[in-house]
A and B are shown apart, each in its own frame.
Chain A
Amino acid sequence: MSVKTEVDLSGVKKSNGVWLVKVPKYLSQQWDKAKERGEVGKITIGKKHGKTEVRFCLNEELTALGDVGEKDASLKVPRDHPFTMHAVGGQTMAAFSQSDTDGISLEGMVVHRAECRPVVNDNYMKLKKLQIRESTKPQRVSQQLERAVTTIFKPVANHDFNLEHDKKKKSEGKMVRAERQVVLDMLFSAFEKHQYYNIKDLVDITKQPVTYLKDIMREIGTYNSKGTHKSTWELKAEYRHYQSAEEEEEMQTA
């Protein structure tokens, strides 16, 4: 039931060409650390041997691997990244944006695809080594314990849970039979909410002893032993007037 949004086609109409650039994870992480203004680096577009060459140079302050501001940074993220450009190659791609207010607009058509690659040097290799080491560490580690665990599964005369249960039972006491009429009222109001009830649930609701309750139910209701609502009690036909049941009956008689 989502609202159909009119797509704003202004970007495409203006033939906005955009680039789709694949950026390595570490670089995008560094970009996330950028300051408010958002400047992360510079792109240089030039011609080299007749071919267009694009390179990206990361800003100095963003090269630190740790938090921005830390100076130690033994390892620095490489700065220079030439872009490998491809043409879109037949596949039509467009970029569309979705704003918080659920407005969709087509930002533009992708005219070039690029991959941002770092220049491979020793520094980069060290960085990669670190990354690999971290990723190959298993998430679950076996630890050796100094002492065996002794806090559980000792044999107990009576479990805590059972003790509590018994205490509760004693404090509540046996269920007292209330007036028949009162109970009937309770039952009818319960059956107004749902059609089928388990005897246990009814006991819970009415707080009546089981035998007494069963007695009353036998008077006003029936027990389903088969069918989808197995082992449940429901009111007798004459006592209930469910809306949908009525409609069904009407349909059948019609």
Chain B
Amino acid sequence: MATRNHSPGGPMFTVDYINKRDNDVGYVYYPEAEKPTTMTSLGSSTSSGTEYTVRVPKNTSKKYNIMAFNSGDKVNCSAWTQARMERDMSARRIYGEEESQDGAAGSEFGKKQREEARRKKYGIVTREFKVEDQPWILKVNGKAGKRFKGQKKGGVTENASYYIFTQCPDGAFEAFPVHGWYNFTPLAKHRTLTAEEAEEEWGRRNKVVNHFSIMLQRRFREQERGPDDEDEGEKSGKKKKKGGGRGGDLRIHDLEEDLEMSSDDSDSSMGDDGESKAKAKKDKGKGKGKKKKKKGGEHEALEDSDDGDYEGLEVDYMSDESSSDEEPEKGQPSKAEEHPKGIDEASESEEESEEEKPNEEETKEEEEEEEGKKTPVQAEKKKKKDSSGESESSDDSDIEGETASALFMKKRTPPKRGGGRGSAGSSRTGSRPGTPSIDSAATSNTLRAAASKLEQGKRPTPGPGTDSPAAKRLKMEPSSQSPAPSGKSTPQPPSGKSTPSSSDVQLTEEAVRRYLIRKPMTTKDLLKKFQTKRTGLSSEQTVNVLAQILKRLNPERKNVNDKMHFYLTE
């Protein structure tokens, strides 16, 4: 029974009607036309809607293909200003046998035929190099823009045909058959390790604490190979001997040396977990220092990092003295020192402004998973985690983002990497526009710019809670990393950090109770409230204390957005 519901959209057909149509293939119901059609030139209007003609043009010279992107890459085609596409012919040389020219030395008479006969005998079938099947290389927005590689997806046209339906100005649809489907994936612009290098680093992952230096070392190696093969070879040899992955190849020698040394000190001053790691770092730092010496030349007399240098520093929890010891050694131009200092201050303030505790925990896990190739940014964080089980200072994402990139002239950190990390951190690294590699001259400029920016951005440091958290933070930092650690270890700027134990917020039951009464919070939120730098506790301690408090309070739980929230009602 066909019942008709008259609704604003027009009369509807029920399902029954559809089923009844059986063998009346050519029979279409045309109930009273209620709506005038919009396309009066075409087809009649049926009450079910508007009708359009479908055309399949026969004579198109164009072949249509599909360009598919991954949803995670967030590609917006309309944002492209310019695009170039070409076939990736790099496979041609693999397929096309390279033939020595006739008449050239080393050619044999009849070589081609013999090779062919041999291949036939052994049944070797080489696949032809088909240009149509080669991947596309798509370059968007010119040199500094993104690059994509489009690989052909097989089996698309085997069982069903895909058509592209476009609507023409006259309202009819035109259907074009799709000849190929290409999946476009973004290409990394930053440098990556080759397979062999990656294998190597994987083998050393347990020994290497400072993953950050892996790429630096590689770049150093490459740099060396360029100018002077032999001479640099020695250096690189020495470098490698120094153990771990200490590249020490920092183009801004001045600052980085400073930073390294100071950060090494601060690192070494950490007494806790990562003692061995601290030692390793020290070694690396030493190695780096030595290398730097060679490179810098002028610093030879200044830094004499022998084995005994850092021993005493382990005990020193407050990094002030150690860092001050460092200062005279460096003898850097004042500007260089300013930068580390400034950046440190800035980083400190920024740290405070950020709530990155949850990040740390996340990143900790991530570190354990990811090994091997890391961008320096990520490697820094990792190293931090590795080196100290303590809560870090987030710092970094910012600092890493700006100064690190400026300092170490990394190529742009792929947003992916940033995305993998904690929220704030990731957003920061991810949102950073690709930083192209910079020369040393440019780097110093950007460094200064970054430093000044950070200085502007930094708030007047809050009084309490600083030296020891600062010291702790410093320890975490890999020596190769930013000036932040070194700055911290240097005599504090006017903002004057006070003694460690004072803190803004104490992790007490009262405080927790207050928060929970106010509004439901997750454990993460609570942790954010009690940042290590404010409470002066390590992350582990904080977690323990917080767990105890929660046990005592026994708050009520409810699930909001799939997250367990605690709350109290008083």
Contacts and interface: CB of A to CB of B under 8 A. Distances in A.
25 contacts: A4-B139, A9-B80, A9-B83, A20-B162, A31-B56, A31-B175, A41-B54, A44-B51, A45-B49, A46-B47, A47-B49, A48-B48, A57-B28, A92-B75, A92-B77, A94-B66, A95-B64, A97-B63, A98-B62, A110-B66, A122-B23, A193-B109, A195-B105, A196-B108, A232-B108
Nearest to B13: A48
A49 B159 CA distance: 33
Given A23-B162, A47-B49, A92 B68 contact: yes
Interface of A: 1-7, 9, 12-13, 15-16, 18-25, 28, 31-32, 34, 36-50, 53, 56-57, 60, 63, 76, 78-80, 89-101, 104-110, 114, 119, 121-123, 190, 192-198, 201, 229, 232, 242-245
B195 interface: no
Interface in B50-94: 50-58, 61-71, 73, 75-78, 80-87, 89
B418 to A, nearest CB: 21
A132 B173 CA distance: 32
A44 B48 CA distance: 8
A49 B12 contact: yes
B56 A34 contact: yes
> Can you list the 4 inter-chain pairs with the closest CB atoms, starting with the nearest?
A46-B49, A90-B71, A46-B48, A28-B161
Contact of A123 (B12, B23, B63, B85): B23
A100 B159 CA distance: 26
A44 B103 contact: no
Contacts of B491: none
A16 B85 contact: no
B160 interface: yes
Interface stretch (B163-171, B239-247, B378-386): B163-171
Contact of B51 (A28, A43, A100): A43
Nearest to B43: A42
Given A12-B77, A92-B69, A97-B65, A42 B12 contact: no
A50 B161 CA distance: 30
B108 A100 contact: no
B175 A40 contact: yes
Nearest to A7: B83
B110 interface: yes
B46 interface: yes
B296 interface: no
B405 to A, nearest CB: 28
B10 interface: yes
B26 interface: yes
A154 to B, nearest CB: 28
A109 B77 CA distance: 8
B302 to A, nearest CB: 42
Nearest to B28: A57
A5 B23 CA distance: 52
